[in-house]
Structure 1
Amino acid sequence: MPRLGLRLALAPLFLAPVVLAEKPPTPEESRAALRLADPALTIELVAAEPDISAPVAMAWDEHGALYVVEMTDYPISPDGGRVKRLEDRDGDGRYERVTTFADGLHWPNGVLPWNGGILVTAAPDLVFFKDTNGDGRADVRTVMLTGFGEGNQQLRVNSPTWGMDNHIYLANGRSGGAVRRPGDPPARGVPIPRNDLRLEPTGVTALPVAGFSQFGLPRDDWGDRFPSWNTVPIRHVVLEASDLGLAADPRTVADILDMADGGRVYSIAPTQRRFNAETVAFFNATCGPTIERGGLLGDAYRGDALFCEPLTSLVQRRKLVPDGPTFIARRAPGEADREFLASTHAWFRPVNLANGPDGALYVADFCRAWVEHPDFVPEGQRKAVDFREGFEHGRIWRIAPRGSKPGEAARKPGTADTAGLVALLESPDGWHRDTAQRLLVERPDGKAAAPALRRLATTSIVPVARAHALWTLVGMDSLDDETLRATLRDPSPRVREQAARVVVRAGRAPLFAAELAAAADDADPRVRLRAVVALARLNTDAARDALARVAARDAESPWTAAAILGAIAASPAKFLDILATRQPDWLARPTEAQLGFLARLGAMIGPSPDPELVTAALGHAAAAPDRAAGFALLEGIAEGQARGPSRTFAWPTLEPAPLPLRQAVERLRRAAAAAARDAAAPLPARERAFAALLAARDPAARELIPVLVGAGQPATLQSAAARAVAAAGGPTLADVLLARWDDLALTTRRVLLGALSSSPALATRLLEAVAAKRLAASEIDPGTRDALRRLADPAFAKRLDEVLPAAAGADRRAVLAKYAPAVSAAAGDPARGRDLFAKNCQTCHARGGRGPKVGPDLLSVAGRPPADLLVAILDPSREVAPDGVAVVVATARGDMLTGLLVEETPTTLRLRRAEGLEDVIPRGDVEALRSTGRSLMPDGLEQNLSPADLVDLIAYLKSPEAPAPGP
């Protein structure tokens, strides 16, 4: 199924009639249409046209001046963007003095006060502006960095954010680029293909960081970043790639949105004038997120995530509930079926949020008829639409408790002396703390505050103030060991966590080995994770022992497990020795997560050219009290041997290993063969047993494949056996399984097709089975056909055209025209459509949270017109967002892997493909990587669906309460 949760450019033939928008509202009319879920809060206007127009970002400098970025040039007029400077001189909450601080900008979209001026993102540049003569207009204009990608104006670098660690963070925008200083040659650019960016405090050194955010990159009080996309409003950066070292399976960013409600939004606006005809009941155009850090709204809101939905005129709130080292973003109490802020007027276009100097929450209201971009509108109708309609409008709103006065918290850090700035670090308002820290780091005399900061870091009664003081000392290069040691023992786990981060940033891990070892036993999972990252800098048995203690406690967390594996990458065999001797339960009573950890640990030992290390690891596998632990280690070691540059032993004979070891491993392999067949054995043991046999190239693996694909076997074992055909089966076994096609479960068939399409030899057997009518051509789904056509073998390509003539080149408009009459005339049978969904769509799409999460959850499309769904299903590549484009990876082993590139680090690529399966590919194994430029969902679904079928499928998709098929 298609990427239905993202915007589609619809053909004029199927475009629903455009509903006329309401007329532009006056500010008073806008205010009257706004609804807050909490009656204790109120919303007030602080700025509007003609003072400002088309606001997309805002920030206050240390003197309380508000800088508003105006994208009046959106979406079609370059160099019309501006930055306005607003001042509220009488403290009444309205900004009465307005100057144009900078103009002639190229689609600006973000602003950050810095170094006496402001930084503005305006791709391809990051520009610094400063007013040196006090006239309210910048007379300094310096391009700090350039090379940011100039994609669609909605998808450009944005949201410069001051980090707690004194660095500046930028959201990628999803257009990438290669970032460099203006005077540097392009070859010196830092690529950011799927990364956000971090700048050193000087603003001239750029480094890619984890995350890939579209518009907005908020952080919380403790420096955690939360990237977002238009359909996924919040994620969490748990780790950086640098935290993971050489881990073979690095994980950095967590999807934390609680999907218990399917990702619903509750708009109260009337039907809106738009070409994006997707349902307004789900996330669609999320942007401008923030974490509530102001404090004025009260403790009930502190730390909550809020994000805008301009297409449906609302702002949603979620509670960030701790979940191990990350969070779950859940609906706020009392807002299960309503939004924090919504409007009954369609021209309310919230695009960004910010915490103000007074502790209130501020909303940037774009206030236009259109927020869609012409790129997503049929070409034939673009000229009939004024996409800038309303560009002269714009509002900034303030949300605060009823009765609060706008000027109550108008302290201005810019006029404070050094002692005053240190005192502001204890403010309940995050804006004051951040600004004070930034000024202390920037000011030439800031180091004079070091003694006071050391006292604050160790004696303040406010935990977050202690953390700010610590990082301010780091920014001044004035942090002493005594202060750092005290904060590593702080009563607050959040301060201890920050102290462990500082140890790493300052490069002082050897000086604090004892404290870091103690942190490995901390009661808080986030502290333990940071201890792991810091202990990775210590190549000692004491550090490895501490890491083993964390592993025994936190292997269930994929984040902590990945960090531990990265930490022991230099000496995995030593770590296994410690684990086996000091944490014996790992090998005696392992959990399922621990089995996975052992397999990955074995894979790190396997490539070693030292036969003694591999021998010792095999000895642990053979001697493990629990056979499943032995299977997992054997699997990893054998897989590592296959990937390593040297072959220590000849598998499966293991020569020239000592005879006793060979005999012990042979007994383990025989036990694995028996366990894999044993229906009474625990499923994790059976899975690890089969995987171990495959990795060890044991002939028993080939014999087990036909057994394990049987319909009575557990689904995971069936899939594993079907996948194994590519690695251990060969053409003859492919023939055996194809002869049993009618007896195979649907999921097993899908996985088998994926395996058979990975090489010309296996794919040829598939073609011959189709030619001999042992299975119907309609069984070969469009995705498999695409994969077959990517196999680089001329003889196979010729045979493929004979057996399965190409359909991808078919005129999509002609196909749509063929199916449109049936879709428009018939109602359809949802029950039959459910079965068609299971057969054709469920490889990639969940529905109502059930099923694989490759494409979007299709419960979100229930409100879309049938004609729109027809286009999305039969012409899925008409418009594809960057995250929906399929890539093809050719590996050194000869595999051709196709999927979505969901994570990219300096050491690995992570692909997600049908059935939600993932391939983690070391960069050293990648021979070629290319984008297809097309959706992962291929053309040609009409080969499997008649017009009547499609009518029934659409009827099922439009049944909002229908459960997904399958388990």
Structure 2
Amino acid sequence: MPLARLLSLAILVSLLPTAFAQREFGFDNRKASGQPYLKPEESVARTKVADGFEVKLFAAEPQIVNPIAMTVDEKGRVWVVECFEYPKRTAKGKMPRDRIKILEDTDGDGVCDKVTTFIEGKDFPVPFDLASGIEVGNGGVYLGAPPYLFFIENKNDKPGKIEILLKGFGSQDTHETLNTFQWGPDGRLYGLHGVFTYSEVKPGEGDGPTTRLNAAIWRYDTRTKKFEVFAEGTSNPWGMDWRNTDGQFILCCCVIPHLFHIVPGGNYKRQAGQGSNPYAYGEIKEICDHTFHKESGWAHAGLISLDTPLMPEKYRNSVIFGSIHGCSIKQNILKPNGSSFTASQGDDFLVSGDKNFRPINLRWGPNGEIYCIDWHDQNPCSQANPDSWDYEHGRVYRIQTKGLKTKKAEDLSKKDPFELYKLFDDPNPYMGRTALRLLQEKGKSRIGDTSKWPFLTNKVLCGCLADTVGVPEPRPGESPAQKHDLALRFFLEDPDPKTIADRIAGLTPHFVGDGTDCFARREIASAMVRHSRTLDVTAMVRALATHGEDATDPVIPQLIWTAYEPSLVSKPSDELNWLKDHAERNPLITDTIIPRAMRRLVATGKREDLGLCLNFAVQLTDSGVRAKALDALVTAIGNRLLDAPAEWEAARARLYEDETPDVRRLTNRLAIKFHDVAALRFALKVAQEELAPLHERISAVRDLGVARSPEAIDPLLRLARGPGPAELRAEAVRSLGGFDAPKLASDLLADWANYSPPLRNEVVQVLAGRKDWAADLLKAVGEKKVDRMALNDNTILRIQALKDKRLNAEVEKVWGRIRATPAELNRLIDKMRGELSTAPGSFNRGRLVFDNQCAKCHKFDGRGSEVGPNIEGGGRDIEYLLINVLDPNRVIGAPYFMRTVNLLNGRVETGVLAAEDDQSITLKTENAVLKQIQKKDIDDIKVQEKSLMPEGLANNMSVQDFRDLVRYVMAHPFLTDVTVQVGDKKTKPVVGVSGRIPLPEAKGPVRIEAEVTAPEDMRTRLLLGVRSDFTVSINGSAPKLGKGSGAAAAPDQVAVEVELSRGMNRLVIEMASEGRGEAVFGRFWDPDRKLRYPDVEVAPKK
């Protein structure tokens, strides 16, 4: 609903205020905003910003359209990339239409009055896919345009020589290309790269190394031409800044989780897939303690740090970043957490009343303003129809403190080096950063004896990089804390290995024992990651590992392990002895390093390394630490049977001397993997012992599946078919899958009628993996003993991977054709859309449908498994659910592609790749079950561009099941259990899941009643779709008057603030019906899913 209408309503209604929030309610991932494009001035007028700030328009269409990236040069001019090739890429045989513009304020009034087109796509020597990153420097412009990184010489604001610096950047996912260019404090060019785009980057000309990356932060040294991954992980990063006070990078992502503290060499939590180091065995987590996805979506872009005296005190620990779905700029407040931060949610910094506001990036300007580029489109999401994007709008705003006086920007390039150094003290980050860049470009100035500085600030240290003096040697342990953070980082980045080795040796004594802070240890650990593959950094890493107080630090343990791993592999005996001698009362060693050391040495595949691990476990004096080491060994060996190393007999005797239950249990599990008959019998006993703890019985069942002894088949069958716990029965079925037992299929299928849906799924998964079992399964389907709907397209693909013509023919006969065409899927979606309108759904039954159909792969509402993407952040409106449930492969990233693995023994396994190292791969299957497969046992692997989620899932459920599922999963469900009263006559109309409440044909007053239960007193919004003026009352309160839309009713046209009481609340809506087949839509804004409604008792039969 246009805000002007809402504001007029606020004036007309003086009884009680109606809430007129921007479209942060009811956001949709796919759906266009539906709001007409506003004039730029009206967009500004509808914008609310934090107290003490104001928003001004700097530039707008037609001066600028589709701004995807920007920077600000030394003259204060804004350089913007206009992107016309998103999202489809440049057509083959064509030159791109993207271009770079310079926006300039020539008279200092804060408004762009001069626009210069610097270069257009047709001017480039080669075509590119689309342009997405820009930075100025070194007399020209750096442009990221996959597959290239260009340098364009600036000849008086016209392009000179165009050089291809790098090539090989991918654009498989056009909203995850290289982006957010900026100069780091070290003078290198930094950029970001998303998780679903794969790149193999190499020099633009000549030979050079290839760097593979996805989900990464990268940097490029413009002087040495060296390209490298700075850190890897996160998801789709599109916004990063370094803090002015300590130089630390803070990054935001376009999907949850949204905020990370980035340190060099860090391996961060990924949205999907596996990083480049298979032996990282862990990841650095996000720093945010919250998400925004329930209130405004999970798409964030553009970030800037406000830690500067230029900002009011309350914002100086904050970062702000754009919310694309929320049409707003969010704020996170940073608090110290060890050597890192915790980011908590602050009040929104800016909220736009324009539903087409799409903030993409933020940069400091010469007057202390923050420039914000607004892509400005009705579409908020990359998954919109590729032909539905707008290419006629775009805005650049200035966000500034109120009353800020603007002036014509000074050309900082005309200042001499001493004047540039003085700008480091300017509270405007633009000044100090631009001065830093210019000094680094000059590279010949001197500032004299740095020891005379009373406080060697990080900014001055950055300046030293441009100086022939070089970086002064840091003095770890001096106060104040963080004084030497960047000094340590820069000091250990010299390109000469001997120099670095000498510097590490000189610093090592400082880190033995007390005397250093966690910030210094973080920087040293990070540097050791960088040098651990080329230098022996063992002494320094050992010194860091003695600091047990860092065990719970969010960053340091992962860095230390990554740096230590090469030393461990190259000198396993020495390092295990060192760990044994220093493990006592050091949780950093016992909880992080020892378990990972066991995993890593098993992964070498060398029997001598396994023997060293066994002796190490024996020699440990603490039973708790010994149990951790043994548990890691059991996990690392996985489902393999190994020949026992020579050390096993003596080790087993010593281990059995430890009477600690966990040590005994783990020793038995280890013994099974070494063909120990006595341990096998013990596992058989535990698995069948009803009084044994469930987790021990499940472990025993898994071990029986590894041992594959024929005597275990019948006990496992009894467990699978018996009345025991569901988890145990499922594990028994999985374990049976490893046996070569021709009659297994008929034995399992005999009790099919007594199996729960999840157990049936496990049986189908197992039986589809062998030819003879698959034949029995298809025969049972043909004989109607097994419902056809128990098999989905993934089951059939697995059977087809067995490469048996007879089985393929049987599939066609009893199940049908494997893949629906796009047209068929679209017809199915249209059909189910109509079905959602004809009857309500049940929340409670929908939860059961989710558990049976979706929880195997998806996490939602605290239920399910994380195999596929987390679905809580999606818009979860009806269109979103229709497409993502019924046609899940329409949009899918490569990390979720399904692998089909054919084994040499004739079995087939399928799943998503979870991990891979030199010895094995690990697949993640439904219910988050991990299956480790040794590479020596694999015949071939095929990657299929489809997810584990079956297409046409509604074919495996009834229409009512689908209604129930949508009702359970959808965000902010509609009111469907309502009473409509006209005069004295009350009726209960049939209201479908899609929420359309039909009104009587007769004209006159209409009263609608509904109930909602709240867990506590709470304020929220009632979202209505209504043509006529109306009143709203809760629990008999004074009616609130509202103005209808004047148009045909559609969801969420009006928002009304309401207060609910704890317990049941009665809602009354009254209006006049026009008697023309009118309707009403209604739902409460409920991002945390707290509200409950009367559930459907009896479902209509379909």
TM-score normalized by structure 1?
Answer: 0.77
Residue 602 of structure 1 and its aligned partner are, at CA, apart by 1.7
Amino acid at match of 2:295: R
Residue 937 of structure 1 and its aligned partner are, at CA, apart by 1.9
The aligned runs of 1:15-164 (5 Å cut-off) are: 21-25=35-39, 27-36=40-49, 38-71=50-83, 79-104=96-121, 107-132=130-155, 134=156, 136-151=157-172, 154-164=175-185
Residue 165 of structure 1 and its aligned partner are, at CA, apart by 3.2
Which of 436, 459, 462 does residue 465 from structure 1 map onto? 459
- CA–CA separation in structure 2 for the residues paired with 1:293 and 1:201: 28
- CA–CA separation in structure 1 for the residues paired with 2:333 and 2:871: 25
Would the alpha carbon gap of residues 461 and 547 (structure 1) be closer, same or farther in structure 2, given more than 3 Å must change? Answer: closer
How far does the alpha carbon of each residue in 1:407-431 deviate from its partner, in whole angstroms, 9 at most, with x for none? 49x6754233223333434444443
How far does the alpha carbon of each residue in 1:118-167 deviate from its partner, in whole angstroms, 9 at most, with x for none? 212233332223333x4x33334333333433556544333222223332
Match of 1:603 in 2: 599
Higher helix share: 1
Amino acid at match of 2:103: L
Would the alpha carbon gap of residues 912 and 215 (structure 1) be closer, same or farther in structure 2, given more than 3 Å must change? Answer: same
2:264 and 2:527 in contact (8 A); partners too: no
Does 2:518 align with 1:495? no
Question: 702-711 or 340-349, which moves further after superposition?
Answer: 702-711
Residue 439 of structure 1 and its aligned partner are, at CA, apart by 2.5
2:317 and 2:333 in contact (8 A); partners too: yes
Match of 1:240 in 2: 265
1:251 and 1:562 in contact (8 A); partners too: no
3-state SS of the aligned residue for 1:484? coil
- CA–CA separation in structure 1 for the residues paired with 2:518 and 2:924: 28
Amino acid at match of 1:439: L
Residue 115 of structure 1 and its aligned partner are, at CA, apart by 0.5
The aligned runs of 1:481-880 (5 Å cut-off) are: 483-486=472-475, 489=478, 491-493=480-482, 495-496=484-485, 499-500=488-489, 502-503=491-492, 507=497, 508-509=500-501, 511-513=503-505, 515-516=507-508, 518-519=510-511, 527-535=520-528, 537=532, 539=536, 542-543=539-540, 545-546=542-543, 548-550=545-547, 553-554=550-551, 560-561=557-558, 563-564=560-561, 567-568=564-565, 569-570=568-569, 571-584=571-584, 598-606=594-602, 614-622=610-618, 624=620, 629-634=625-630, 636-637=632-633, 651=642, 654=644, 656-657=646-647, 659-664=649-654, 668=664, 724-725=735-736, 776-780=787-791, 782-791=793-802, 804-809=815-820, 811-816=824-829, 818-848=831-861, 850-860=863-873, 864-865=877-878, 868-880=880-892
Match of 2:186 in 1: 165
Would the alpha carbon gap of residues 505 and 826 (structure 1) be closer, same or farther in structure 2, given more than 3 Å must change? Answer: farther
1:421 and 1:437 in contact (8 A); partners too: yes
Residue 836 of structure 1 and its aligned partner are, at CA, apart by 0.5
Does 2:329 align with 1:345? no
Amino acid at match of 2:351: A
The aligned runs of 1:845-924 (5 Å cut-off) are: 845-848=858-861, 850-860=863-873, 864-865=877-878, 868-881=880-893, 885-886=897-898, 898-899=910-911, 913-916=925-928
Residue 767 of structure 1 and its aligned partner are, at CA, apart by 5.9
- CA–CA separation in structure 2 for the residues paired with 1:684 and 1:558: 31
Residue 671 of structure 1 and its aligned partner are, at CA, apart by 5.2
Question: 921-930 or 868-877, which moves further after superposition?
Answer: 921-930
Amino acid at match of 1:397: Y
- CA–CA separation in structure 2 for the residues paired with 1:739 and 1:595: 47
Does 2:295 align with 1:264? yes
Residue 363 of structure 1 and its aligned partner are, at CA, apart by 0.8
- CA–CA separation in structure 2 for the residues paired with 1:771 and 1:172: 50
2:855 and 2:863 in contact (8 A); partners too: no
- CA–CA separation in structure 1 for the residues paired with 2:919 and 2:335: 31
Residue 253 of structure 1 and its aligned partner are, at CA, apart by 6.0
Gaps of 5+ in 1: 9-15, 266-281, 645-649
Match of 1:403 in 2: 403
3-state SS of the aligned residue for 2:36? coil
Match of 1:362 in 2: 371
Match of 2:1037 in 1: none
Would the alpha carbon gap of residues 799 and 257 (structure 1) be closer, same or farther in structure 2, given more than 3 Å must change? Answer: farther
Does 2:947 align with 1:951? no
How far does the alpha carbon of each residue in 1:757-800 deviate from its partner, in whole angstroms, 9 at most, with x for none? 56667767766776788865544455444444445566665665
Which of 331, 336, 344 does residue 317 from structure 1 map onto? 331
1:548 and 1:579 in contact (8 A); partners too: no
How far does the alpha carbon of each residue in 1:694-740 deviate from its partner, in whole angstroms, 9 at most, with x for none? 87999999899679979999988777666555568977788877767
Residue 751 of structure 1 and its aligned partner are, at CA, apart by 6.1
Question: 528-537 or 432-441, which moves further after superposition?
Answer: 528-537
Residue 288 of structure 1 and its aligned partner are, at CA, apart by 3.1
Would the alpha carbon gap of residues 230 and 625 (structure 1) be closer, same or farther in structure 2, given more than 3 Å must change? Answer: closer
1:517 and 1:542 in contact (8 A); partners too: no
- CA–CA separation in structure 1 for the residues paired with 2:826 and 2:755: 36
Would the alpha carbon gap of residues 74 and 699 (structure 1) be closer, same or farther in structure 2, given more than 3 Å must change? Answer: closer
- CA–CA separation in structure 1 for the residues paired with 2:338 and 2:349: 27
Question: 246-255 or 399-408, which moves further after superposition?
Answer: 246-255
1:43 and 1:399 in contact (8 A); partners too: yes
How far does the alpha carbon of each residue in 1:341-368 deviate from its partner, in whole angstroms, 9 at most, with x for none? 2222234332222222333322112345
How far does the alpha carbon of each residue in 1:172-229 deviate from its partner, in whole angstroms, 9 at most, with x for none? 35543443444448x9764445545432233744334524764624132224252523
- CA–CA separation in structure 2 for the residues paired with 1:431 and 1:558: 29
Does 2:238 align with 1:216? yes
Would the alpha carbon gap of residues 563 and 765 (structure 1) be closer, same or farther in structure 2, given more than 3 Å must change? Answer: farther
- CA–CA separation in structure 2 for the residues paired with 1:923 and 1:325: 40
- CA–CA separation in structure 1 for the residues paired with 2:943 and 2:27: 21
2:899 and 2:911 in contact (8 A); partners too: yes
3-state SS of the aligned residue for 1:161? strand
Equivalent pairs: percent with the same residue?
A: 23
Amino acid at match of 1:364: I
CA root-mean-square deviation: 5.0
Residue 248 of structure 1 and its aligned partner are, at CA, apart by 1.9
Q: Kindly indicate whether structure 1 or structure 2 has the higher relative contact order, using CA contacts under 8 Å at least 6 residues apart.
A: 1
- CA–CA separation in structure 2 for the residues paired with 1:729 and 1:525: 55
- CA–CA separation in structure 2 for the residues paired with 1:57 and 1:939: 37
Amino acid at match of 1:127: F
Match of 1:304 in 2: 318
Would the alpha carbon gap of residues 544 and 117 (structure 1) be closer, same or farther in structure 2, given more than 3 Å must change? Answer: closer
- Select the structure of larger CA radius of gyration: 2
3-state SS of the aligned residue for 1:113? strand
- CA–CA separation in structure 2 for the residues paired with 1:422 and 1:161: 20
How far does the alpha carbon of each residue in 1:923-964 deviate from its partner, in whole angstroms, 9 at most, with x for none? 999986654223442214133201121112112223456579
How many residues end up aligned between the 2 structures? 896
Residue 34 of structure 1 and its aligned partner are, at CA, apart by 0.9
Amino acid at match of 2:253: S
3-state SS of the aligned residue for 1:663? helix
Residue 820 of structure 1 and its aligned partner are, at CA, apart by 4.2
Does 2:373 align with 1:377? no
- CA–CA separation in structure 2 for the residues paired with 1:54 and 1:303: 32
Amino acid at match of 2:653: Q
2:492 and 2:503 in contact (8 A); partners too: no
Question: 352-361 or 73-82, which moves further after superposition?
Answer: 73-82
